[in-house]
Amino acid sequence: MRIPRVVLAAPASGAGKTSIATGLLAALRARGLAVSPHKVGPDYIDPSYHALAAGRPGRNLDPWLVGEQRVAPLFLHGALHPRRADVAVVEGVMGLFDGHATRAGFGSTAHVATLLAAPVVLVVDARSAGRSVAATVHGFRSFDPAVRIGGVVLNQVGTERHAEILRAAMAEIGMPVLGVLGRRPDLVTPSRHLGLVPAAERAAPARDAVAELGAAVGSGLDLDALLALAATAPDLPAEPWDARVAALEPVGSPVPAGPRPVVAVAGGPAFTFGYAETPELLAAAGAEVVGFDPTVDEALPAGTSGLIIGGGFPEVHAGALAANAALRSRVRAFAATGAPVAAECAGLLYLSSALDGAPMCGVLGEVTAAMTPRLTLGYREAAAVTDSVLAARGTTVHGHEFHRTVATPAAGGSTGGDARRGAAPAWRWRDASGVEVAEGFVRGAIHASYLHTHWAGVPGAAHRFVAAARAAHQTEAFRAAG
């Protein structure tokens, strides 16, 4: 199947990939093209800007989280939904060849570009260099013959003379220049402790920023040349990923007939981290997926039989979450019915008793959470410690951590401590030094953990969760509470 496509990469982080990718999506869409946005790696924030620019979900492509064999199928799925795209833009992560710390190049932008057989456009920050930029580009072009760099975008160019020097240097090595962008200090997306501020938290300012980026990229890049490069990508010998098939793996049994259990998925400004495939998998497994905003909604959606609270920034919105005492009480009562609750990172904090002193739901007993100066970041290979609503005991998953908080049981210790009040750890893994880590909480139908997973890479998770929601709906405790 052929989808014109191009990967935007850079020699290192901070070169302007996200701004240019977002602006390119907006500029191509302004031309009337259907554009499919994708992001290499586990990042949740950049895809929120991609989605604003493209008018369709931003989707992640991460070989570690979903497996190499699913990258091309997931790409095709995104490029075909909600309708077939005219072109796809894939934003890379970090430097072109930077990937998994212990597996050279695995999960890198270069790795994904080869899996997609896609040409690469190298975004080069030219602020402090002239002809030397050619040496950088030449080195990246020759480093891995399997990666085809089809052109460069010169970013942060100071003057017309600077641009002339850079263009001449690119001509020396026969590298096409697909665009030149000047310095625009006014086009800066605000950041904080985990990166850019998500688009959902900025609303109108984010839309304005995307429009300005689209105008800047539309005038600074040769869109026709870039589209011609994208059109050189060959057919992909893969079938599109299908949520209806994936939701039954490895179960194999069809979705039961009858009413669809309502699975409530937290959203709003506090819970912005999630992969587009998760609600698709839930729906394919037989659920009715309904969103809600814990900062303002005082009740769970009517008929809720399962609750998913993903990642985000509850630490930033702790005041609003704490002030919504009605919903916190209802979440606590819902969890007590034995209905399934899956909480990931931010969700774990929301289920704690307090976050930086602000009262939360108290579902996990005396677990408290607080911000720390230390960033916990990295890929993990984890095994399920016990049976849960997400995985059978012993199931191995690939996930990642990304947080500056710590959740601590009352008697001390982190989420790996022993003071769990009847809860088992959710996962075990070994850290970089080989020390075993026990993390998260599983108690009854509650699963709370810092570990982020992509359910397309965890076969059976959606089916297992929806089955638990369907079963919970039939219990006396649930009917009595509802």
Query: Catalytic residue positions?
Result: 345
Calculate the alpha carbon distances from 118 to 31, 111, 303, 353 in Å.
Answer: 22, 10, 45, 48
User: Which one-letter amino acid corresponds to residue 189?
Assistant: T
Strands 441-443 and 436-439: unpaired
E-strand stretches of 171-228? 177-182, 191-192, 195-196
What is the helix, strand, coil percentage profile of the chain, to 5?
Answer: 35, 25, 45
Burial of 183 (0-12, 13-18, 19+ CB in 10 A): middle
Contact between residue 36 and residue 86 where contact means Cβ atoms under 8 Å apart: no
Cα distance between residue 263 and residue 468, in whole Å: 11
Cα distance between residue 400 and residue 46, in whole Å: 17
Which of 337, 369, 338, 336 minimizes the C-alpha distance to 352?
Answer: 369
Contact between residue 70 and residue 107 where contact means Cβ atoms under 8 Å apart: no
Cα distance between residue 310 and residue 466, in whole Å: 16
Which of 89, 129, 125 minimizes the C-alpha distance to 109?
Answer: 89
